[in-house]
């Protein structure tokens, strides 16, 4: 019955490759990995990679490692290491065994670098950054050999040891692979594989003052973990040459079934930035409240906004995995959460911009309780009891002194049905000095109770309401897109594409049963949208609700 179904995963070109590898006997089982760099929070793009890697491991009864690709200590932080683990688990996945770190292999990597040096395949280079760039050549012109390229192996070995022992300053020298300065692939023009960095590392402390580069580290880490299919995004397509070159030249990795890299296109989402560096800028500059601001495309932000893990997994399934670059509509992500919540979220009533309604012929001294289903289609979710009385709140947008026939809400002299309760009729209203309606005086018909009563009344409109004396005050945070441009990544600065109205805060009321609303439970506020309590700021007595998504697609 649910639209959101993670059981049936469609095939894709990567799964086809895996099927072939299993059929041919190249591999007996599948081992993938998700390799984030702990330099920011995970975003919806990472979710695509997570669902792909962990999803494959699940479906093929294989394994998936979580490996922190931690070779840039200055940009990394233990806070990111922790949030990434939390987000992967929240999405519903569990890695195989312990969390891995590339830094676990720093000793091994050092040994492999020494092996390349001994084979005459790596050398210590003292060109400065500008010279290195100049020697590298361009896409049109081949590069030139570094004057240090032919240093004898024994000398390189001594220099590399001196690098490791702190004998050189940062930027003074690097270790480079000796490949081909005329290669059409820039990454093969004697790439740097180690550099000097006197940086404290969150895992290895001050043990190292040289750190290996990504391209050298990643393939070896994959191979050491017996990863069968190393899945990454298309920008690493050229680097696959280097990935294979490193392994081809190390004695430990000559098995015919060793790890191979496959590339797929990254997720780009309209109106969304997907670079951790740019997202970090938004946080650092205070343009959002943090990595978990509900407007952020981070997993933590989406969670706080009210997205469910199932809706994100469903989205990742719908976008598929290909090699085509594309820009996905935000509507697709919103449709996934809307369908999930429409199917599963309890209903409740909230009045976001309240005006008072006084029902003058309701003269009973006590409140009355009316029943309302928690979910219209799921009887097992039960019923809730809603107070009804002489004073209620309705939304300012649901009343007009006069209106044409299209306006099916409350109008002076006409009737409307209160959802789950009675038909009322507006008689007159009070206004403040600015002409805004403050109170509407009504009468109700006691014979019309119920959600869809067969009372024969031809009342077109149904509006929502909350009884005034039991109503709980609540803050509503109404979100719009963070950016006003569909492709904010293309703008020179974020400032010119930032949507000034991405957050609107209003104060209204919610029905009393929401007193203990939990952040992990999203609601449909009837006729308003899907909301959830804010996990940081909402508590009993000070309710704060985030708009997760509108009821319908609004653009």
User: Which sequence positions are flagged as catalytic?
Assistant: 37, 266, 276
Could you say which of Mg ion, ligand ATP, none residue 330 binds, taking C-beta under 5 to 8 angstroms by partner kind?
none
Pick between residue 37 and residue 244 the one whose CB is nearest to Mg ion. Answer: 37
The kind and range of the H/E element at 373 are: strand 368-373
Name the minimum Å distance from CB 305 to Mg ion: 25
Tokens at residue 262, please? 């496959």
Place of tokens 């219209």: 376
267 is in an annotated binding site: yes
453 is in an annotated binding site: no
Name the minimum Å distance from CB 373 to Mg ion: 48
Asked whether the beta carbons of 226 and 259 are under 8 A apart, the reply is yes
Q: Cα–Cα distance between 300 and 412 in angstroms, integer?
A: 46
Residues near ligand ATP (CB under 6 A), total: 15
One residue of 116, 175, 267, 472 binding ligand ATP per CB under 6 A: 267
Pick between residue 36 and residue 143 the one whose CB is nearest to ligand ATP. Answer: 36
Name the minimum Å distance from CB 273 to Mg ion: 15
Regarding 100 and contact with ligand ATP (CB under 6 A), the answer is no
Asked whether the beta carbons of 121 and 249 are under 8 A apart, the reply is yes
Report which residue's Cβ sits closest to ligand ATP. 45
Pick between residue 218 and residue 535 the one whose CB is nearest to ligand ATP. Answer: 218
Q: Cα–Cα distance between 110 and 204 in angstroms, integer?
A: 14
Exposed / middle / buried, residue 445 (Cβ in 10 Å: 0-12, 13-18, 19+): middle
The piece of 30-38, 205-213, 431-439, 463-471 that touches ligand ATP (CB under 6 A) is 30-38
Could you say which of ligand ATP, Mg ion, none residue 156 binds, taking C-beta under 5 to 8 angstroms by partner kind?
none
Tokens at residue 386, please? 């809603």
Regarding 37 and contact with ligand ATP (CB under 6 A), the answer is yes
Q: Cα–Cα distance between 165 and 534 in angstroms, integer?
A: 50
Q: Cα–Cα distance between 153 and 148 in angstroms, integer?
A: 11
Pick between residue 48 and residue 176 the one whose CB is nearest to ligand ATP. Answer: 48
Q: What is the x/- site pattern for Mg ion, positions 22-51, by CB under 5 A?
A: ---------------x--------------
39 is in an annotated binding site: yes
Q: Residue 101: how many CA atoms within 13 Å on its side-chain side?
A: 19
Q: Where are the beta strands (DSSP E) in 111-205?
A: 122-125, 174-177, 192-196
49 is in an annotated binding site: yes
287 is in an annotated binding site: no
The kind and range of the H/E element at 283 are: helix 276-284
Name the minimum Å distance from CB 233 to ligand ATP: 4
DSSP secondary structure string for all residues of 465-521:
-EETTTPEEEEEEEE--SBSSS-GGGSSSGGGTB-TTSEEEEEEEE-GGGTT--TT-
69 is in an annotated binding site: yes
Neighbours of 521 (CB within 10 A): 14
Pick between residue 276 and residue 295 the one whose CB is nearest to Mg ion. Answer: 276
Pick between residue 50 and residue 125 the one whose CB is nearest to ligand ATP. Answer: 50
46 is in an annotated binding site: yes
Q: Where are the beta strands (DSSP E) in 267-353?
A: 347-348, 350-351
Regarding 326 and contact with ligand ATP (CB under 6 A), the answer is no
Asked whether the beta carbons of 31 and 222 are under 8 A apart, the reply is no
Q: Which residues pair with 192 in a beta bridge?
A: 176
Regarding 544 and contact with ligand ATP (CB under 6 A), the answer is no
The piece of 42-50, 312-320, 477-485, 526-534 that touches ligand ATP (CB under 6 A) is 42-50
- Find, among 116, 265, 118, 101, the residue nearest to 191 by Cα: 116
Q: Cα–Cα distance between 308 and 157 in angstroms, integer?
A: 53
Classified as helix, coil or strand, 135 is: helix
Could you say which of Mg ion, ligand ATP, none residue 275 binds, taking C-beta under 5 to 8 angstroms by partner kind?
ligand ATP
Could you say which of ligand ATP, Mg ion, none residue 27 binds, taking C-beta under 5 to 8 angstroms by partner kind?
none
List the helix and strand counts (H, then E) for the chain: 12, 27
Name the minimum Å distance from CB 523 to ligand ATP: 31
Name the minimum Å distance from CB 72 to Mg ion: 9
Name the CA radius of gyration of the chain, rounded.
31
Q: Residue 482: how many CA atoms within 13 Å on its side-chain side?
A: 25
Regarding 48 and contact with ligand ATP (CB under 6 A), the answer is yes
Starting at the earlier edge strand, list the strands of the sheet with 174-177: 122-125, 174-177, 192-196, 210-212
One residue of 18, 35, 73, 217 binding ligand ATP per CB under 6 A: 35
Regarding 409 and contact with ligand ATP (CB under 6 A), the answer is no
275 is in an annotated binding site: yes
**φ, ψ for residue 400 (rounded to 5)?**
-140, 145
The piece of 15-23, 44-52, 327-335, 395-403 that touches ligand ATP (CB under 6 A) is 44-52
Tokens at residue 34, please? 């998700």
Q: What is the x/- site pattern for ligand ATP, positions 226-255, by CB under 6 A?
A: ------xx----------------------
Q: Cα–Cα distance between 268 and 264 in angstroms, integer?
A: 12
Name the minimum Å distance from CB 37 to Mg ion: 5
Name the minimum Å distance from CB 50 to ligand ATP: 8
Regarding 276 and contact with ligand ATP (CB under 6 A), the answer is yes
Q: At what angle do helices 106-118 and 153-164 cross, to 10 degrees?
A: 160
Regarding 266 and contact with ligand ATP (CB under 6 A), the answer is yes
Regarding 73 and contact with ligand ATP (CB under 6 A), the answer is no
Name the minimum Å distance from CB 422 to ligand ATP: 52
The kind and range of the H/E element at 43 are: none
One residue of 186, 192, 274, 491 binding ligand ATP per CB under 6 A: 274
Which residues contribute to the annotated binding site? Answer: 37-39, 43-49, 69, 214, 233, 266-267, 274-276
Which residues contribute to the annotated binding site for L-glutamine? Answer: 69, 214
> Where does this chain bind Mg ion (CB under 5 A)?
37
Which residues contribute to the annotated binding site for ATP? Answer: 37-39, 43-49, 233, 266-267, 274-276
> Where does this chain bind ligand ATP (CB under 6 A)?
35-37, 45-46, 48-49, 69, 232-233, 266-267, 274-276
């Amino acid at each position: 019955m649910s639209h959101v179904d993670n059981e049936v995963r469609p095939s894709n070109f990567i799964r086809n490759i895996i099927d072939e590898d299993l059929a041919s006997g190249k591999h007996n089982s599948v081992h993938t990995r998700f390799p984030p760099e702990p330099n920011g929070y995970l975003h919806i793009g990472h979710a695509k990679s997570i669902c792909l890697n962990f999803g494959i491991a699940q479906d093929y009864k294989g394994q998936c490692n979580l490996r922190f690709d931690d070779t840039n200590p200055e940009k990394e932080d233990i806070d990111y290491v922790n949030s990434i683990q939390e987000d992967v688990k929240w999405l519903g996945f569990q890695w195989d065994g312990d969390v891995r770190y590339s830094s676990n292999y720093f000793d091994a990597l050092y040994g492999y670098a020494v092996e390349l040096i001994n084979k005459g395949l790596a050398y210590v280079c003292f060109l400065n950054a500008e010279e290195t760039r100049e020697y590298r050549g361009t896409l049109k012109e081949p590069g030139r050999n570094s004057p240090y390229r032919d240093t004898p192996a024994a000398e390189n070995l001594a220099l590399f040891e001196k690098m490791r022992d702190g004998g050189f300053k940062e930027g003074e020298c690097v270790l480079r692979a000796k490949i081909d300065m005329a290669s059409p692939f820039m990454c093969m023009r004697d790439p740097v594989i180690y550099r000097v960095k006197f940086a404290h590392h969150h895992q290895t402390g001050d043990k190292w003052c040289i750190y290996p580069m990504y391209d050298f580290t990643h393939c070896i880490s994959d191979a050491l973990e017996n990863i069968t299919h190393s899945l990454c995004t298309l920008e690493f397509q050229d680097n696959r040459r280097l990935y294979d070159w490193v392994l081809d030249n190390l004695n430990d990795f000559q098995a015919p079934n060793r790890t191979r890299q496959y590339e797929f296109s990254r997720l780009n989402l309209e109106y969304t930035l997907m670079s951790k560096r740019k997202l970090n800028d938004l946080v650092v500059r205070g343009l959002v409240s943090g990595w978990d601001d509900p407007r952020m495309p981070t997993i933590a932000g989406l969670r706080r906004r009210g997205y469910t893990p199932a809706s994100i997994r469903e989205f990742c399934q719908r976008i598929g995995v290909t090699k085509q670059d594309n820009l996905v509509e935000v509507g697709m992500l919103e449709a996934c959460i809307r369908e999930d919540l429409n199917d599963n979220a309890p209903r409740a009533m909230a009045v976001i911009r309240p005006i008072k309604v006084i029902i003058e012929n309701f003269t009973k001294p006590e409140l009355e309780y009316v029943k309302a289903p928690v979910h219209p289609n799921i009887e097992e979710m039960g019923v809730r009891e809603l107070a009804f009385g002489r004073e209620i709140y309705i939304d300012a947008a649901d009343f007009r002194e006069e209106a044409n026939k299209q306006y099916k809400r409350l109008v002076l002299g006409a009737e409307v049905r209160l959802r789950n309760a009675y038909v009322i009729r507006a008689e007159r209203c009070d206004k403040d000095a600015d002409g805004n309606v403050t109170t509407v005086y009504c009468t109700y018909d006691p014979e019309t109770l119920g959600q869809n009563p067969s009372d024969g009344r031809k009342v077109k409109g149904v509006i929502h309401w909350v009884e005034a004396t039991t109503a709980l005050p609540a803050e509503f945070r109404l979100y719009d897109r963070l950016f006003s441009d569909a492709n904010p990544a293309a703008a020179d600065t974020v400032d010119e594409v930032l949507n000034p109205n991405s957050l609107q805060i209003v104060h209204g009321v919610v029905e009393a049963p929401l007193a203990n609303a939990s952040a992990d439970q999203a609601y449909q506020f009837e006729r308003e949208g899907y909301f959830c309590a804010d996990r940081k700021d909402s508590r009993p007595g000070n309710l704060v609700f985030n708009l997760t998504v509108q009821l319908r697609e609004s653009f």
